[in-house]
C-alpha cells in the first residue's frame, strides 16, 4: 500500500473509488438488457462442459421471468461443484446477445441461499496494483474509516450558507466510499454530489491556506531597499533609450520600482505577450538595483536567449559604465573562474546567463535583484535551487519573473497566489499584425515560392523543423536534410542551420550571422523558440506544426512581426490530424492574442500540463477541477485569511492533512 502512497489512515480515506458496482438490486432476467451490467439470481437448470470450439463451462440459469446462459472459458472444478443443477446462483456481469440467446461471459457468480441479503451500498472499485487485491484494499479502506474517523476541521459558522449545508468530511467520505443503494450514479460521476462538493472545497481551502502561509512567511523576510538616485544609471539609461516606453511599460516599471523600494522582497511576475517589450523593463529594474549599489542577475532558460540578453544589455549599459558578466554552462575553465571572481568581488554589477548563474560555486557579493526570463521553462528543481540560493543571503534579493504565457485567473489564485502580477497589455507601436496561414504539406511548393519572394525583398525567414521525440538522431538528420534541401533551393541566398546539439559557440555564431542579416533562411529546431529578436525576419515556416504545443507555436510565431514589415506565419501539417492537433492549428489561425491562446491551451490540455506539473509526477489537485469549481475556489480564497487568523490550529491541520509531503514543491 505504501507504493500507492497509502501510508496514513487519512490517505486511505482519501483514496476514493474510481467507479462503483451496483449489487444492491436484482434484475429479473427477462429485463436484463444487452450491453448493460446487471445482477441476476436464478436456479441452475443445466451445467455442462463443451469442448468445441474450445473447452468451456456453460451454466443455464432461470428465474420466473426467463433464462440466460453464463459462459466461462476459465474455471475451476470447485466452482462447478458449488453450482450443481438446482442450486441458486447470483451472478453479475454484462449481458450480451449470443448465438443461443442472451448470455454473460465471465460474470461474477456464487451460490446463495434463498433470500440472501443484497448489498445495501454500491460496491466501490479502487485503483490498485497487481499485488494488492481489490477485496483487500476495500477492507483496508473501510477499516481506516472506521478506526480513525476523519476529524472535522472546519470551524462551525465559518462557511457561507450554501456550503454550510454540505455534510461533514467524515460523512462525505463515508458516503463516497459506500454510497447507499439508489444514489444517483450521475451525480457521483460528474462530482456534483454534495459529498463531492464538500471534499473538493476542503482540498481547495487547504491549498489556499498553504499559499497564504508562504506569502506571510515571505512578508517577514527582509530585502535591501533599492531606489534609483538622481542623475544615476537609471535616469541616464532612460535618456539614451532609442524609443519611448509604451504606456503599459511605464505602468509596470512603476509597479516594479515601487516594490524594489520596499524592505520586503519583491515576488512579482511580469507577463506580456511575445514582443511586448519585457527586456527593457528588466533592464530598467536592473539599473535601479545597481543605482542602489547592489548586483543584479538575469537568467534565461537557454544559452541562445541568455546570449541575446547579454548582447542587448551590453549594448545598452556598457556605454554607461556598467560591468556586465556572462555565465553559462558551456563556459568552463579559466574564463569561468575569472567570471566567478568578478561576481564574488562585486565588480560585475550585472550577471547574465543560464541557470549556471545560480549554481553551486557562484557567490554574489551583494545580490539585490534576480530576474528570471521565461520562468515557466525552468524545471521545478532549478526553481527550488534558485529559491535556496536567494535565501542564503542575510537580506533576501528581490525576485522578478517574466513570462509570455499568461496565467489564467484560477491558476493565478491557486498556485500563484503568492505572486504579484504585472501585465504589459499593449504592443510597441508600428507593428503590423502577423497573418497566420495553415497548409497541408502538399502545398510546400507554394510556400517555397513565397519565401523566395521575401528573400528577394531582403527579408529573412525562419524555417522550423520539429523535435522528433523518439529519436535525437532522427531529429538531427531531419534538420540537416531539410537544411541541405533548402540551401539548394534558395541558393545563392545563404541558408543557416541551428539545432540543439551544436556547440554553444557555433550556435552563437550562426545566430549572430542571422541577426546581422547575412543569412537569409535559418533552418532551426525549436532552439530558437524563446525570445530571439530579429526585427527584419518576416516569415516563420513551421513544418509538422501539428506536433507542437499551442504555447510553443505561439512563441515561435512571435519571432516574426517584430518590425514594421508585414509578417506571415505558415503552419505546414501532415494528415491525418488528431482532434487536438486540429484544435491547436485552428486556434493559431484564429487569434494572435497570447491571452486567448493561453485560455484555449488550458481548454485543450487542462491545468496540470499547463503548469509543467508533469515533471513532478504529481497531480496538483486530486479532486477539485479549476475550470469546474470556480465558485468553491472563490469561497476558499475568501475564507483562507480568516481561518489562518482566527483558527490557526485548524488551518495548520488542514494543510498537513492535504498537502503532507508536497509542501516544498509548491514553493517552486
Ligand atoms: P519580449 O516581451 O517578447 O521579451 P522584447 O523585449 O524582446 O519582447 O522586445 C521586442 C522588440 O521590441 C525589441 O526589439 C525591443 O527593442 C522592441 N521594443 C521594446 N519596447 C519598445 C517600445 N516601447 N517601442 C518600440 N520598440 C520597443
Ligand atoms: Mg523576451
> Which residue, among 162, 158, 155, 169, has the nearest Cα to 203 in the 3D structure?
169
Specify the residue for cell string 479502487: 126
Percent of the chain beyond pLDDT 90?
Answer: 47
Q: Is 591 exposed, middle or buried (0-12, 13-18, 19+ CB in 10 A)?
A: middle
- Return d(Cα 38, Cα 27) in angstroms, integer: 6
Q: What is the DSSP letter of 432?
A: P
Average pLDDT, integer, range 241-265:
95
Which is the CATH superfamily of the domain at 434-591? P-loop containing nucleotide triphosphate hydrolases (3.40.50.300)
> Thinking of the domain 233-424, which architecture would CATH place it in?
3-Layer(aba) Sandwich (3.40)
C-alpha cell at 116: 440472501
Atom of ligand 1 nearest to the CA of 281: 6
| The pLDDT value given to residue 4 | 72
Q: How confident is the model at residue 550 (pLDDT cuts 50, 70, 90)?
A: confident
Question: Using an 8 Å Cβ cutoff, are 551 and 271 in contact?
Answer: no
Burial 518-540 (b: 16+ CB within 10 A, else e): ebbbbbbbbbbbbbbbbbebbbb
| The pLDDT value given to residue 39 | 94
C-alpha cell at 267: 515576488
Q: Is the CB of 557 under 6 A from ligand 1?
A: no
- How many Å lie between the centroid of ligand 1 and the Cα of residue 280? 7
Degrees (nearest 5) of the Cα angle 466, 504, 514? 70
Mutate to test the pocket of ligand 1, among 277, 434, 592 (most ligand atoms within 8 A of CB): 277
Dump pLDDT digits (tens) for 148-200.
888 899 988 888 888 888 999 999 999 999 999 888 877 888 888 999 999 99
Torsion of CA 587, 588, 589, 593, to 10 degrees: 90
Degrees (nearest 5) of the Cα angle 197, 619, 374? 120
Would you list the DSSP string of 252-268? Answer: HHHHHHHHHTSSSPPEE
Which is higher by pLDDT, 132 or 530? 132
- Beta strands across the sheet bearing 420-424: 324-327, 350-353, 295-299, 367-372, 398-403, 267-272, 420-424
- Return d(Cα 515, Cα 537) in angstroms, integer: 9
Q: How confident is the model at residue 207 (pLDDT cuts 50, 70, 90)?
A: confident
Question: Using an 8 Å Cβ cutoff, are 534 and 505 in contact?
Answer: no
Dump pLDDT digits (tens) for 492-530.
899 999 887 788 788 888 988 999 999 999 999 876 655
Outline which parts of the chain fall under CATH 2.40.50.140: 26-117
Q: How confident is the model at residue 619 (pLDDT cuts 50, 70, 90)?
A: very low
Task: Kindly tell me if the per-residue pLDDT of 606 is higher than 80.
Answer: no
Minimum mean pLDDT range among 56-60, 292-296, 402-406, 557-561: 402-406
Average pLDDT, integer, range 219-242:
93
- Return d(Cα 588, Cα 609) in angstroms, integer: 19
Which is higher by pLDDT, 112 or 328? 112
- Return d(Cα 627, Cα 409) in angstroms, integer: 10
| The pLDDT value given to residue 664 | 46
Atom of ligand 1 nearest to the CA of 282: 6
Diameter of the chain measured on Cα atoms: 103
- Return d(Cα 392, Cα 23) in angstroms, integer: 60
- How many Å lie between the centroid of ligand 1 and the Cα of residue 278? 7
- Return d(Cα 461, Cα 536) in angstroms, integer: 9
Average pLDDT, integer, range 405-410:
72
Residues in the chain: 668
CA of 252, nearest ligand number = 1
- Return d(Cα 111, Cα 79) in angstroms, integer: 9
Atom of ligand 1 nearest to the CA of 430: 25
C-alpha cell at 63: 428465474
| The pLDDT value given to residue 537 | 92
CATH class belonging to 26-117: mainly beta
Outline which parts of the chain fall under CATH 3.40.50.300: 233-424, 434-591
- How many Å lie between the centroid of ligand 1 and the Cα of residue 555? 15
**Bridge partners (DSSP) listed for residue 216:** none
Task: State the average pLDDT for the chain.
Answer: 86
Minimum mean pLDDT range among 8-12, 362-366, 473-477: 473-477
Minimum mean pLDDT range among 88-92, 96-100, 457-461, 497-501: 96-100
Minimum mean pLDDT range among 295-304, 521-530, 586-595: 521-530
Distances (CA, A) of 387 to 370, 496, 500: 10, 39, 28
Dump pLDDT digits (tens) for 633-659.
899 999 999 999 999 999 999 998 888
Q: Is 344 exposed, middle or buried (0-12, 13-18, 19+ CB in 10 A)?
A: middle
Minimum mean pLDDT range among 362-366, 647-651, 664-668: 664-668
| The pLDDT value given to residue 474 | 64
Which is higher by pLDDT, 131 or 233? 233
Distances (CA, A) of 182 to 24, 173, 187, 441: 8, 17, 12, 55
Amino acid at each position: 500500500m505504501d507504493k500507492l502512497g497509502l501510508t496514513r489512515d487519512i490517505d486511505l480515506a482519501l483514496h476514493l473509488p474510481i467507479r462503483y458496482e451496483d449489487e444492491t438490486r436484482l434484475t429479473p432476467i427477462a429485463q436484463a438488457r444487452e450491453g448493460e451490467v446487471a445482477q441476476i439470481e436464478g436456479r441452475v437448470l443445466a451445467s455442462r462442459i463443451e469442448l468445441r470450439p474450445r473447452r468451456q463451462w456453460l451454466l443455464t440459469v432461470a428465474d420466473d421471468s426467463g433464462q440466460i446462459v453464463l459462459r466461462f472459458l476459465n474455471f475451476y472444478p470447485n466452482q462447478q461443484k458449488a453450482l450443481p443443477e438446482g442450486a441458486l446462483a447470483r451472478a453479475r456481469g454484462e449481458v450480451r446477445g449470443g448465438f443461443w440467446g442472451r448470455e454473460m461471459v465471465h460474470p461474477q457468480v456464487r451460490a446463495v441461499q434463498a433470500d440472501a441479503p443484497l448489498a445495501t451500498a454500491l460496491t466501490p472499485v479502487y485503483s490498485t496494483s497487481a499485488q494488492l487485491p481489490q477485496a483487500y484494499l476495500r477492507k483496508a479502506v473501510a477499516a481506516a474509516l472506521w478506526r480513525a474517523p476523519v476529524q472535522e476541521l472546519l470551524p462551525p459558522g465559518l462557511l457561507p450558507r450554501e456550503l454550510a449545508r454540505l455534510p461533514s468530511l467524515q460523512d462525505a467520505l463515508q458516503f463516497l466510499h459506500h454510497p447507499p443503494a439508489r444514489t444517483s450514479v450521475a451525480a457521483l460521476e460528474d462530482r456534483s454530489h454534495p459529498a463531492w462538493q464538500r471534499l473538493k472545497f476542503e482540498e481547495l481551502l487547504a491549498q489556499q491556506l498553504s499559499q497564504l502561509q508562504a506569502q506571510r512567511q515571505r512578508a517577514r523576510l527582509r530585502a535591501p531597499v533599492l531606489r534609483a538616485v538622481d542623475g544615476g544609471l537609471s535616469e541616464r539609461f532612460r535618456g539614451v533609450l532609442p524609443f519611448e516606453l509604451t504606456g503599459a511599460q511605464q505602468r509596470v516599471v512603476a509597479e516594479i520600482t515601487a516594490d524594489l523600494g520596499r524592505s520586503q522582497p519583491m515576488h512579482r511576475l511580469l507577463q506580456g505577450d511575445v514582443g511586448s517589450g519585457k527586456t527593457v523593463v528588466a533592464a530598467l529594474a536592473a539599473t535601479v538595483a545597481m543605482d542602489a549599489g547592489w548586483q543584479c542577475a538575469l537568467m534565461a532558460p537557454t544559452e541562445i536567449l541568455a546570449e541575446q540578453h547579454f548582447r542587448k544589455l551590453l549594448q545598452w549599459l556598457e556605454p554607461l559604465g556598467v560591468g556586465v558578466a556572462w555565465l553559462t554552462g558551456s563556459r568552463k575553465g579559466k574564463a569561468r573562474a575569472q567570471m566567478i571572481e568578478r561576481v564574488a568581488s562585486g565588480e560585475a554589477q550585472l550577471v547574465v546567463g543560464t541557470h549556471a548563474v545560480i549554481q553551486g560555486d557562484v557567490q554574489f557579493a551583494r545580490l539585490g535583484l534576480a530576474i528570471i526570463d521565461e520562468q515557466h521553462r525552468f524545471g521545478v528543481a532549478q526553481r527550488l535551487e534558485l529559491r535556496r540560493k536567494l535565501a542564503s543571503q542575510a537580506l533576501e534579493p528581490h525576485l522578478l519573473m517574466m513570462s509570455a504565457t499568461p496565467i489564467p485567473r484560477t491558476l493565478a489564485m491557486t498556485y500563484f497566489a503568492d505572486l504579484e502580477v504585472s501585465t504589459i497589455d499593449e504592443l510597441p507601436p508600428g507593428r503590423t499584425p502577423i497573418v497566420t496561414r495553415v497548409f497541408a504539406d502538399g502545398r510546400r511548393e507554394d510556400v517555397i515560392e513565397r519565401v523566395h519572394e521575401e528573400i528577394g525583398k531582403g527579408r529573412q525567414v525562419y524555417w522550423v523543423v520539429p523535435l522528433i521525440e523518439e529519436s535525437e538522431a532522427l531529429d538531427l538528420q531531419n534538420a540537416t536534410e531539410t537544411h541541405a534541401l533548402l540551401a539548394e533551393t534558395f541558393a545563392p541566398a545563404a541558408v543557416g542551420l541551428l539545432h540543439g546539439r551544436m556547440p554553444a559557440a557555433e550556435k552563437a555564431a550562426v545566430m549572430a550571422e542571422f541577426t546581422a542579416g547575412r543569412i537569409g533562411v535559418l533552418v532551426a529546431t525549436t532552439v530558437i523558440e524563446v525570445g530571439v529578436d530579429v526585427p527584419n525576419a518576416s516569415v516563420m515556416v513551421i513544418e509538422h506544426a501539428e506536433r507542437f504545443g499551442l504555447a510553443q507555436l505561439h512563441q515561435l510565431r512571435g519571432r516574426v512581426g517584430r518590425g514594421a514589415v508585414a509578417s506571415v506565419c505558415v503552419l505546414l501539417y501532415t494528415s491525418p490530424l488528431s482532434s487536438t492537433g486540429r484544435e491547436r492549428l485552428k486556434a493559431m489561425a484564429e487569434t494572435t492574442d497570447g491571452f486567448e491562446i493561453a485560455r484555449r491551451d488550458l481548454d485543450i490540455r487542462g491545468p496540470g500540463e499547463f503548469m509543467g506539473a508533469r515533471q513532478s509526477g504529481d497531480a496538483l489537485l486530486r479532486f477539485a477541477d479549476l475550470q469546474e469549481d470556480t465558485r468553491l475556489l472563490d469561497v476558499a480564497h475568501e475564507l483562507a485569511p480568516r481561518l489562518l487568523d482566527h483558527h490557526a490550529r485548524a488551518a495548520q491541520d488542514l494543510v498537513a492533512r492535504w498537502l503532507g509531503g508536497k509542501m516544498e514543491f509548491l514553493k517552486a
